[in-house]
Chain A
Amino acid sequence: MLNRASSGSRWRERPDGRGKVTGELAYLTDRYAEGSLIGRILRSPHPFARIKSIDTEAAKAVPGVLAVLTHEDVPGVNRFGIVIQDQPVLCEDVVRYVGDAVAAVAAETDEAAERALGLIRVEYEVYETISSPEEALRPDGRKLHPDGNVLKHIQYSKGDVEEAFGRCAHIVEQTYKTPRQMHVYMETEGGLFVPEPDGRLTVYSPTQHGLKDRVQIANILAVPEENIRVLSSPIGGSFGGKDELNVQPYGALLAQRTGRPVRIHNSRAESVRAGIKRHPMTIRMKTGIDSAGRILAHKVSVLADTGAYATLGGEVLTNALENSLGCYVYENLEIEGKSVFTNNGVSGEFRGFGANQAIFALEGQMDRLAELSGIDPWKLRGINLRKENDPGAYGQEIYPTDGARQVWRAVLASSLKQEESRNRQDVIPDKPWIKTGYGSAIAMMGTGLGKGIPDPGGGRISLAPDGQIEVAFSYEEFGQGLLAALELMLIEHFGLFEEDLRLVIGDTDRVPESGSSTAARTTTMMWLALGKLVPEFKGKLFDAARERARLPSGQLTLGQGGIRLEDGTPVCTFAELAASGEPIVCEMSTAFPESPNGDFANRFLFVQAGTAVRVEVNELTGRVRLLDQYHAVAGGPVANPQGFLGQIEGASGMALGFTLTENAVMKDGRYAFGNLDAYLIPTIVDQSKSMRVEAIEEVPEGDPYGPRGIGEIGSVTLAPAIAQAIWNATGVRVSELPVDPALLQKSPQYLQEAVQPK
């Protein structure tokens, strides 16, 4: 099991740890600049409406107000979006969700800004809200965008599904529904925007890819990219939610207009209203097996509510469909999916990226087929598992992986599974309404952005003038432990010393393009980049040291603080080397490994997870408690044990909320809540029970890819495992998340007897 004891000296204090436990680490929303103004945003009160007029005169007249901006004041492109730029910075004619921005205000005080917001008069012609994908698809419905209401439609098939269903011994057809989950990063969106004396603009605001933000902000402001510097780490949580722009356009525009620093920090209510969420999906699956349990046919249809704008909705759908096939092999397949615009907020990137929804459905199918056929559910999965050299879900070539079988075996051998097979039932004699049950699930997830999407990597290593070895990547630290993984990798694998290192991230002036911190890609990308950079860098250091010390060619080594002869005799310090000659810099760019073939944005490098759980269902209240959980994760060599464990534990916690309590309920395009009193994420009470994580590190011989990203896979297997455990405990099948307690409440015979004596 992965824990502190089993990790030995690899369990280390994180480089960013001390600042975090002392409160000294300043987040970007903690920054203040002399003379800062407050920035605020006026958002649409309607889910869907036409703007007839905007009058800002009264707002501009409020004492202390320095700028009131509308669409007319956007000097550049009045649109943003990571892939498709379809979201207005400030709406000109139509508002499409209740978070749409109509005006932005900068004022000396929050009170003045608040007053100004209240005095901006916007006349709307209110349209009927399109509050579901089904409504959006009606032929007579109003279009949200010029090309209609379908953001993306994907179809793929192989073999002859209908013929194969005819040969099936058992067929399960079921519709699954998943919730609109909110990221709930503890730090809401915000930042500081500072016009510099040299005419540049410094943006201190969290994002998952500072260089990408720089491009988007430059386009909006109509200034060259070089005139903008984005500082984007540290971040108080993101989980995908801060990858897309949020407050940056407004802070930047207001700072540009007023020439003064501007601070914006969303209230939680504004974060709820404007922020992206996980896509609610309706997934219909029809799956058939023969009498031996082999899958003969699988049919999938996904309908995703992508909300008002594209952001990464199309990419999420692609990944959902890829994951709707899991780690099984199919001869006959028909999958289809639509991501549809509605007036329900904006759905976008969120840890798991569509896999959470798809795996809940797929694993639900396997459990139902097991029940129908009488085959043990885990054995049924085993019968259909892919083998090491099988192609990917769409037939694309993928890097060989036996991870599916490895995690399947690990789960089978786990104490929880053993306990289940002994059919242990915790019956509490005086509480017969408490039922316990077991469940398990398996998943396989691609890392990287997938074929066809630019997926750059790269990095820089250099000797700084003060003799520190600077290692720079365009990645961000939002808590996942990127810095800790990088530091450990540099020490253990590349032979550098902690004291000599300076890790540089999150500053567009100081980092090369290494791509985004998304899609569980950064650990692998750092590994691949350093594998090329470090040997080259060491070679340059040795050459410089030889030249400086007039040494003949011969073996040198790198020690703490400087270069040494093989016997340990010091040759020179890094500081001396830095002072003595040409700068020593190695930089490279590469790309995340991708499949050489395939039709979609399908992945090449995969990780797998298997999860077993025991839950308790209270049939009086309908409440479910997670009592024990085991996770086996095949992600190659563990880059950083503390981070690995923390990622799986944290992802599981997020999945627990997705399964049992979290749903950003909307009614007619409006959120039915505004804060964490009515949107319930798990507390310590929900997660104080036993949890074990096992890392399976085995990879094919000669593997070049090193540690895989495991930041997302931990969030996809828990929901189906809990659903199966609920069935095991109560006989009730759950097909809609979060689990509705009413479904599990029973009015048992003995209670009826108690109130109605014979």
Chain B
Amino acid sequence: MIDQTWAERAAGSKLECEVNGKAVSAEITPSTRLLSVIREDLGLTGTKRSCEIGRCGACMVLVDGKPVNSCLTMAYQCSGKKITTIEGLAGEEMLHPVQQSFLEEGGYQCGYCTPGMIISVAAMLAENPKPSMEQIEEHMSGNLCRCTGYGGILRSIERAIERGGQSDDRG
């Protein structure tokens, strides 16, 4: 049964969620994507726009700790969720251990895929602190990098695994 007119359904609603530990509310329509809320409404441009079809991973964020492509996530799906973007990954004083590993090993070049890449690695290690190469390959195959040939990224992942969730950098 149709209980709403088209106009009612297409009209805006309010998204209430938490982004990087802060309560956020944004005007959205049913077709608003999480990516545009993050970049356009909140001005958190660390989350990048690249393929917009969920192939490249540049727009990855954590939704309740799980990595998602924010280009494929509808904003309304995030109601009441806890969202972490690259800007919210580091602690007050320290970089996240994965960020620190990327910095030390040079796991980036142009840096455009890096926020999504780091989010993806952080999510992987949160779930499995000692992944095998097969598990790394599987987990990371949705994050494309065109600069590094993945060499620096693999060394950064290795370093982050060794570090075991510890960061000693006071960023």
Q: A residues near B, CB below 8 A?
A: 4, 11, 13-14, 16-27, 29-30, 32, 183-188, 234-239, 265, 267-268, 478-481, 642-643, 645-646, 649-654, 656, 675-677, 681-685, 687-688, 691
Partner of A676 from the list B53, B108, B154 (CB cut-off 8 Å) is B53
When C-beta atoms are compared, the residue in chain B nearest to A21 turns out to be B99
**CA separation between A30 and B102, bound complex, in Å?**
22
Residue contact A687 to B141, C-beta cutoff 8 Å: no
Indicate which residue in A14, A186, A268, A649 contacts B149 across the interface (CB closer than 8 Å): A649
Contact string against A for B residues 35-50, beta-carbon threshold 8 Å, 1 for contact and 0 otherwise: 0000100011111111
The residue from B110, B111, B118, B149 contacting A651, defined by CB atoms under 8 A apart: B149
Tell me which residues across on chain A come within 8 A of B67, comparing CB atoms: none
Q: Is the pair B49, A684 in contact by a Cβ cutoff of 8 Å?
A: no
Most B Cβ at <10 Å: residue of A185, A268, A481, A650: A650
Is the CB–CB distance between A675 and B53 below 8 Å?
yes
**C-beta contact mask, B140-154 vs A, less than 8 Å → 1, else 0?**
110111111111111
Chain B CB count within 10 A is highest, among A23, A478, A646, A653, for: A23
A653 touching B149 by the CB < 8 A rule? yes
13 A-B residue pairings within 8 Å (CB atoms): A17-B108, A21-B102, A22-B87, A23-B45, A30-B39, A32-B43, A186-B50, A479-B108, A646-B109, A652-B149, A676-B51, A676-B144, A688-B133
Known: A23-B87, A480-B109. A684 touches B48 (CB 8 A): no
Complex interface: chain B residues within 8 A of A234 (CB): 110-111
Please give the residue numbers on chain B whose beta carbons come within 8 Å of chain A beta carbons, in ascending order: 39, 43-53, 55-56, 58, 85-87, 89-90, 95, 99-100, 102-106, 108-115, 118, 133, 136-137, 140-141, 143-155, 171
Pick the residue among A32, A186, A236, A646 that contacts B106 (CB under 8 A): A646
Chain B residue numbers with a CB within 8 Å of A481 are 109
Give Cα A236 to B49, complex, Å. Answer: 11
Residues of B contacting A267 in the complex (Cβ-Cβ under 8 angstroms): 52
With A20-B108, A21-B102, A684-B150 known to touch, is A187 a contact of B50 (CB < 8 Å)?
yes
Q: How far is the CA of A234 from the CA of B144 in the complex (A)?
A: 19
Q: Are B141 and A677 in contact (CB under 8 A)?
A: no
**CB atoms of B151 and A649 under 8 A apart:** yes
Give bound CA distance, A23 to B98, whole Å: 13
Point out which of B46, B108, B141, B143 has the most chain A C-beta atoms below 10 A from its C-beta.
B46
Q: Are A21 and B53 in contact, with the CB atoms below 8 A?
A: no
Contacts of A676 in B (CB 8 A): 51, 53, 55-56, 144
Bound form: Cα–Cα A651–B151 in Å: 11
Beta-carbon contact of B147 and A646 below 8 Å: yes
B95 cross-chain contacts in A, Cβ below 8 A? 21-22
Return the contact of A20 from the options B51, B100, B111 (Cβ within 8 A).
B111
Q: How many Å lie between the Cα of A640 and that of B70 in the bound state?
A: 36
Residues of B within 8 A of A29 (CB): 49
In the complex, the answer to whether B111 meets A683 with C-beta atoms within 8 Å is no
- A654 and B146 contact, Cβ closer than 8 Å, known pairs A187-B110, A236-B48: yes
**In the docked arrangement, what's the CA distance between A681 and B149, Å?**
10
**Chain B residue with the shortest CB-CB distance to A645:** B151
* Chain A residue at minimal CB-CB distance from B151: A649
Pair B137/A675 contact, Cβ less than 8 Å: no
15 further A-B contacts with Cβ under 8 Å, apart from A27-B112, A236-B110, are: A4-B105, A20-B111, A21-B102, A22-B99, A23-B44, A184-B146, A234-B110, A238-B110, A645-B152, A653-B150, A682-B149, A683-B150, A684-B136, A685-B137, A687-B151
**In the complex, A461→B123 CA distance in Å?**
44
Task: Say whether B148 contacts A21, CB under 8 Å.
Answer: no
Query: In the complex, which residues of chain A have a beta carbon less than 8 angstroms from the beta carbon of B85?
Result: 23
Query: When the two chains form their complex, are residues A268 and B141 in contact, meaning their CB atoms are under 8 A apart?
Result: no
| Whole-angstrom distance between the Cβ of A78 and the nearest chain B Cβ | 30
Give Cα distance in the complex from A612 to B49, angstroms. Answer: 37
* Interface secondary structure of B, over-half rule: loop
Question: Most B CB atoms within 10 A — which of A14, A18, A29, A687?
Answer: A687
| Chain B hits for A24, CB < 8 A | 46, 87
**Which residue of A21, A235, A682, A687 contacts B108 across the interface (Cβ within 8 Å)?**
A21
In Å, the complex CA distance between A235 and B147 comes to: 12
Residues of A within 8 A of B110 (CB): 185-187, 234-238, 478-479
What chain A residues lie within 8 Å of B90 (beta carbons)? 22
Does the CB pair A18–B149 fall under 8 Å? no
Assuming the contacts A21-B103, A22-B90, A24-B87, asked whether A684 and B146 have C-beta atoms less than 8 A apart, the reply is: no
Q: What chain A residues lie within 8 Å of B56 (beta carbons)?
A: 186, 676
Shortest Cβ gap from A206 to chain B (Å): 10
Closest to A13 in B: B103
In the bound assembly, the distance between CA atoms of A654 and B146 in angstroms comes to 7
Q: How far is the CB of B107 from chain A (nearest CB, A)?
A: 8
Contact A186-B113, Cβ < 8 Å, known A4-B155, A649-B151, A650-B149 = yes
Q: Which residues of B contact A479 (CB under 8 A)?
A: 108-112, 147
The verdict on A646 contacting B136 (CB below 8 Å), with A236-B111, A676-B55, A681-B144 known, is: no
Please report the C-alpha to C-alpha distance between residue A560 and residue B52 in the assembled complex, in whole angstroms.
Answer: 47
Closest 9 CB pairs of A and B: A23-B46, A479-B110, A653-B149, A236-B112, A20-B111, A23-B86, A479-B109, A30-B45, A649-B151
Q: Which residue of B lies closest to A4 (CB)?
A: B105
A270–B99 alpha-carbon span in the complex (Å): 32
Q: How far is the CB of B136 from chain A (nearest CB, A)?
A: 7
Name B55's contact: one of A4, A645, A677 (CB within 8 Å). A677
On chain A, the residues within 8 Å of B115 by CB distance are 23
Taking the nearest CB of chain B, how far is it from the CB of A627, in angstroms? 13
A-chain residues with CB within 8 Å of residue B109 when the two chains form the complex: 237, 479-481, 646, 650
Query: Provided the pairs A22-B171, A23-B86, A239-B146 are in contact, do residues A268 and B155 lie with their beta carbons within 8 angstroms?
Result: no
Q: Is the CB of A688 within 8 A of B51?
A: no
CB distance from A532 to the nearest CB of B (A): 29
Shortest A451–chain B CB gap in Å is 31
> In the bound complex, what is the Cα–Cα distance between A645 and B99 (angstroms)?
20
Provide the bound-state CA to CA distance between A16 and B110, in Å: 9
Are the CB atoms of B141 and A685 closer together than 8 Å? yes
Chain B residues lying within 8 Å of A184, measured Cβ to Cβ, are: 144, 146
In this complex, the member of B102, B110, B133, B171 whose beta carbon has the largest number of chain A beta carbons within 10 angstroms is B110
CB of A268 within 8 A of CB of B50, answer yes
Residues of A within 8 A of B58 (CB): 186
- Nearest A residue to B85 by beta-carbon distance? A23
- B87 cross-chain contacts in A, Cβ below 8 A: 22-24
Report the minimal beta-carbon distance from B159 to chain A, rounded to whole angstroms. Answer: 9
Q: Is the CB of A650 within 8 A of B46?
A: no
B153: chain A residues at CB < 8 Å are: 684
Q: Residues of A contacting B48 with CB < 8 Å?
A: 27, 186-187, 236
Closest chain A residue, CB of each to CB of B111: A20
A751 to chain B, nearest CB (A): 27
Chain A CB within 10 Å, residue with most, of B45, B52, B100 = B45
CB-CB nearest in chain B for A32: B43
Contacts of A642 in B (CB 8 A): 106, 152
Q: Which residue of A lies closest to B56 (CB)?
A: A676
On chain A, the residues within 8 Å of B45 by CB distance are: 23, 26-27, 30
A186–B146 contact, CB under 8 A? yes
In the complex, the chain B residue whose C-beta lies closest to that of A268 is B51
Contacts A21-B103, A23-B47 hold; do A649 and B146 have CB atoms under 8 A apart? Answer: no
Q: Which B residues touch A681, using CB under 8 A?
A: 144, 146
A11 to B152, CA, bound (A): 13
| Residue contact B112 to A186, C-beta cutoff 8 Å | yes
Contact B136 A688 (CB under 8 A): yes
